[in-house]
Amino acid sequence: MKQKKYMNPYLGGVLLGLVLIVAFWVSGRGLGASGAAKSALVAGMNTVAPAHAGNSAFYSDYLESHPNPLSQWLVFEMLGLVVGGFVSGAIAGRLKFKVEKSPKITNKTRIIFAVIGGVFFGFGSQLGRGCTSGSALTGMAVLSVSGFLSMAAIFGTAFALAYFARKLWI
């Protein structure tokens, strides 16, 4: 079997740092993904149920400060992330629709736990006022104590919970 090639992680880290610098230079702020999800959610709710969006404090406050949520640059960042990941996978020959998991669990179990993890991550990003990219990566780039604390909490929690979730992977 042919060995799949991946980018050198050190080069990837340098490139991520350069993208972060460009984001600061172009937009005046760092990277983040949860803002794009929030913009899409608010725009979708305002389209599907405008009366509910107008009566809800969360949606109406966001719509007041962001009249067209889908014009936010974070939405375009996330679109670029999806398209870039797709193109990268296609070029490297890794573009396949499959569920990566331990052989000890079923596809259904893996998908259920992935969805649960995604819900927890989304909830946590709202409690923490940003996702890992926004609070930890960007926070550390500007030498914010909260950025370093966020990164320590993210990796510390992952390390502490890895024991319990390891059967999903090995």
Q: Is residue 85 located within the same domain as residue 126?
A: no
pTM, two decimals, is 0.63
Of 97, 125, 152, the one marking the end of a domain is 97
Residues 131 and 82 in one domain: no
Same domain, 134 and 159: yes
Tell me, yes or no, whether 73 and 110 share the same domain.
Answer: no
Measured over the CA atoms of residue 9, residue 13, residue 18 and residue 23, the dihedral's sign is positive
pLDDT digits (tens, 9 = 90+) for 67-103: 787 777 778 888 888 898 899 888 888 888 888 887 8
Q: Which amino acid is at 122?
A: G
Nearest to 117 by CA among 159, 63, 165: 165
Express each pLDDT in 1-39 by its tens digit: 566 677 788 998 898 889 888 888 887 777 777 777 788
